[in-house]
Amino acid sequence: MHIEAWTLATGVLLKRAKNWFTFAACTVLICCLAPAVSGGQASGKATVESVLGMMDKSAEDFKSLTADIEHIKYTAVVKDTSTETGQIYVRKDEKLRIDFKTPDQRTILRNGDNLYIYTPKINSVMEYNIGKNRAMADQYLALGFGKKGENLRKTYQITLVGEEDVDGQKTAILDLVPNSEEVRKEITKIEMWVDEQKWLPVQQKFFEGSSGDYFLSRYKNMLKNLKMADSRFKPDWPKGTKVDKARD
């Protein structure tokens, strides 16, 4: 994932760490993925309220989640599309790990207020403290994943733009426009596809400013409430790894 767009809100977070905020969303997206709940559907035609209500219910028993992740970055000026794939691990206690495998290895790790980006190819780690910018970071890291609908409403203007099949799954498409004018300078809007069986996002698309650039995160093969050891979320890098701390 081109870790690029993750910096903002404080004005500093999205500008200074533009390469680690991009996923967030996306993924990262991007820190508590909503649990996969099978079966339940809102009765009748989908509405914003019914979709958010079912997402609330799906989050009630969430403890952990793992999924395959695909991150696609489109750069309009050169009409270039690049893709990274890997696996994401999430726990409800603000722990997140994404291991990208292709085309290059990279690990994104969040443990509370600390966020790390480890690049084996150059044997280097960038370390960030997001404590002062937690609210902004959580918007992207946790977007649609395990959050109450009322929290989304505080942050976004939400509309339902339709329904669509994604990989054979019926989804409701929510359009999220940030309430914050400063946020909108970086992310004008977000589209989120919510699986109408499991009631969690299977796809998120972030539109960056007026550039025409966007990044898209897709989640597949989701498994919830697997036991995840604390060791998975520890910044335990190989001996000799260079660690750089980002300045505020």
Q: What is the pLDDT of residues 18-33, one digit of tens each?
A: 444 444 334 334 433 3
Cα–Cα distance measured from residue 124 to residue 149, given in angstroms and rounded to the nearest whole number: 38
SS3 12: coil
93-134 pLDDT, tens digit per residue, is 888 999 999 999 999 999 888 999 999 999 999 999 988 777
159-176 pLDDT, tens digit per residue, is 999 999 999 999 999 999
Cβ atoms < 10 Å from Cβ of 120: 14
**Is 90 exceeded by the pLDDT of residue 218?**
yes
Question: Strand runs (DSSP E) across the chain, as ranges?
Answer: 27, 64-75, 80-91, 95-102, 106-111, 114-119, 124-129, 156-166, 169-178, 187-195, 201-208, 213-224, 242-245
Strand partners, 99: 87, 107
The alpha carbon of residue 99 and the mean position of all alpha carbons in its chain are separated, in whole angstroms, by: 14
* Higher pLDDT, residue 28 or 248: 248
Q: What is the pTM of this model?
A: 0.79
**Is 90 exceeded by the pLDDT of residue 85?**
yes
Residue 9 CB-half CA count within 13 A: 16
Asked whether the bond before 178 is cis by omega within 30 degrees of 0, the reply is no
SS3 200: coil
Average pLDDT over residues 128-149: 69
**Is 60 exceeded by the pLDDT of residue 43?**
no
Among candidate residues 215, 237, 195, the one with its CA nearest the CA of residue 55: 195
Strand partners, 160: 174
SS (H, E, C) 163-195: EEEECCEEEEEEEEEECCHHHHHHEEEEEEEEE
